[in-house]
């Protein structure tokens, strides 16, 4: 029996899926913002790293019976050195256990929607089997990737190359179940995507609609609640000026229409809303996924 009850959202049942935690350099996460400012919001450890979540979203469609998983975390294919660098923590949570707590097995997942293919968003697609070979975790899932992002991931620039791991991308490529989608792809009624190109080319943000209530999976456009202010842009972004432009338009609409933003990387805040005061964007409310239905 499932431990986690679904959140009813129109024609969908929603489940937050915690796929573990890790740490990234705070300076890189906040770009030009001084540590004296960002560390008041998210404290750093002795290696200047901040705690990050890997919060995925499971969407069960009542209309089509599809089970969509948005992203799947970093996976467990790291050697000891890499695991130490990122301080990977699967004691807090892990992908498979989180799915089981919601009443799902990996074979139940029919579709995986990748926001993008940086290692902390797609590494859970595969694992090492008992023979030490890479094997797929989701044997029946169709993998949905934006066309332009797929090109970027397979022919990355020197700066972004370290975020794309062959052991993550090659099994997706060779699965026979890769579906390359256009910008603003609609998966079904009330489930479509927004496209952002500042962080990486072709990042797709799933959007769910239930009447006037809108839930957006914010991925790496707004990775944590501290990234709501307009200038707080990650050093990881390939085109930070474009991120600023995309973020401003996104936040204006989010504030005007009271969008609910599902946060992938915030360790403590699951969903937030935003407001605009005196020309500045700021946090309005924090809530759980269950509180938006």
**pLDDT per residue over 162-180, tens digit each?**
999 999 999 999 999 999 9
Domains in the chain with CATH codes:
7-292 (3.60.15.10)
230 close to 281: Cβ distance less than 8 angstroms: yes
DSSP string, 10-62: TTEEEEEEEEEEEEEEHHHHHTTS-HHHHTTTS---TTSEEEEEEEEEEEEET
Distance CA 37, CA 57 (A): 30
Nearest to residue 268, comparing CAs of 286, 291, 292? 286
**pLDDT per residue over 16-69, tens digit each?**
999 999 999 999 999 999 999 999 999 999 999 999 999 999 999 999 999 999
Tell me which of 140 and 1 has the higher pLDDT: 140
Mean of per-residue pLDDT scores for the chain: 97
pLDDT at 8: 97
Percentage of residues in the chain having pLDDT higher than 90: 97
pLDDT at 56: 98
pLDDT at 286: 98
pLDDT at 1: 53
pLDDT at 196: 98
- HEC-encoded secondary structure of 126-163: EEECCCCCEEECCCCCEEEEEHHHHHHHHCCCCCCHHH
**How does strand 280-287 pair with strand 271-277?**
antiparallel
The pLDDT of residue 293 is above 80: no
Q: What is the DSSP letter of 230?
A: T
Distance CA 77, CA 75 (A): 6
- List Cβ<8 Å contacts ≥24 apart for 29-33: 29/223, 29/224, 29/234, 29/235, 29/236, 30/226, 30/227, 30/232, 30/234, 30/235, 31/232, 31/233, 31/234, 31/235, 31/237, 31/240, 32/231, 32/233, 32/235, 33/231, 33/232
**pLDDT per residue over 257-292, tens digit each?**
999 999 999 999 999 999 999 999 999 999 999 999
The pLDDT of residue 2 is above 90: no
**pLDDT per residue over 83-118, tens digit each?**
999 999 999 999 999 999 999 999 999 999 999 999
**pLDDT per residue over 66-79, tens digit each?**
999 999 999 999 99
Contacts of 3 (CB under 8 A, 6+ apart): 101, 102
pTM over 0.75: yes
Distance CA 273, CA 267 (A): 16
**pLDDT per residue over 231-255, tens digit each?**
999 999 999 999 999 999 999 999 9
pLDDT at 100: 97
pLDDT at 119: 97
22 close to 54: Cβ distance less than 8 angstroms: yes
Distance CA 108, CA 128 (A): 20
């Amino acid at each position: 029996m499932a431990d986690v009850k679904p959140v009813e959202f129109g024609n969908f049942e929603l489940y937050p899926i915690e796929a573990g935690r890790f740490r990234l350099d705070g300076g890189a996460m906040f770009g030009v913002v001084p540590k004296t400012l960002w560390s008041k919001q998210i404290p750093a450890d002795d290696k200047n790293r901040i705690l990050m979540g890997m919060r995925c979203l499971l969407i069960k469609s009542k209309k089509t019976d599809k089970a969509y998983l948005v992203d799947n975390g970093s996976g467990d294919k790291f050697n000891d050195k890499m695991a130490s660098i990122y301080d990977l923590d699967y004691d807090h949570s892990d992908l498979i256990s989180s799915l089981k707590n919601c009443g799902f097995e990996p074979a139940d997942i029919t579709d995986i929607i990748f926001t993008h293919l940086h290692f902390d968003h797609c590494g859970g697609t595969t694992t090492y089997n008992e023979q030490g070979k890479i094997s797929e975790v989701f044997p029946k899932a169709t993998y949905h990737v934006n066309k332009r992002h797929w090109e970027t991931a397979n022919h990355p620039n020197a700066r972004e190359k370290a975020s794309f791991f062959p052991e993550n991308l090659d099994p997706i490529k060779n699965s026979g179940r890769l579906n390359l989608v256009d910008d603003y792809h609609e998966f079904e009624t009330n489930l479509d995507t927004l496209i952002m190109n500042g962080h990486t080319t072709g990042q797709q943000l799933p959007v769910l609609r239930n009447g006037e209530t809108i839930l957006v999976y914010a991925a790496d456009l707004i990775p944590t609640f501290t990234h709501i202010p307009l200038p707080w842009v990650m050093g990881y972004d390939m085109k930070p000026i474009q991120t600023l432009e995309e973020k401003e338009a996104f936040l204006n609409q989010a504030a005007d229409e009271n969008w609910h933003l599902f946060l992938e990387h915030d360790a403590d805040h699951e969903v937030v809303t935003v407001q605009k005061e005196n020309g500045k964007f700021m946090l309005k409310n924090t809530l759980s996924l269950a509180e938006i239905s």
